[in-house]
Amino acid sequence: MTGNSESEKVSGGCLCGAVRYELEPPLRPVVACHCLRCRRATGHYVSATAVPRERFHLIESDALKWYRSSPHAERGFCGVCGSNLFWSAHGRDTISIMAGSIDGETGLRTVAHICVAQKGDYYDLNPSEPQYQAGDYPSPWSS
């Protein structure tokens, strides 16, 4: 893959290869979530893109596990290597994909940071990138 063109499928997966997926572009720009749940699930913060569910295709999924991390969402991860891969809100027509799990270059850019009041004290945010509190990000494709 050489970017995020409209016609080129995007592939990705976990560290060990037991979970693989394909996405049909376009992909939403990356949104970084700094909430406590995302930080605990990943050890840092989440940087995720998203696509409508009909453009998300699992290729290898025997090791895929889902964890209900809140009353309204669950997280998909590899049961073999533990890679954090997906975030899925109940009733939402999109699925979020961890940007770091995409093969090769993505052509994507971070457009916002959300839940910044919960960010870790050990890192700084780029002040040129928009920052939002929980629930006030104006995109219909939020993390």
pLDDT tens by residue, 118-131: 999 999 999 999 99
**pLDDT exceeds 90 at position 132:** yes
Distance of CA 10 to the CA centre of its chain: 14
The CATH number assigned to the domain with range 10-118 reads 2.170.150.70
Burial of residue 120 (number of CB atoms within 10 Å: 0-12, 13-18, 19+): exposed
**pLDDT exceeds 60 at position 141:** no
Sequence-distant (≥ 6) Cβ neighbours of residue 119 within 8 angstroms: 34, 45, 113, 125
pLDDT tens string 11-56: 999 999 999 999 999 999 999 999 999 999 999 999 999 999 999 9
**What's the pTM?**
0.89
Q: At 79, list the tokens.
A: 């049961």
Stretch 3-18: mean pLDDT: 84
- H/E stretch holding 42: helix 36-42
Give residue 137's pLDDT: 73
The whole-angstrom separation of Cα 12 and Cα 97 is: 9
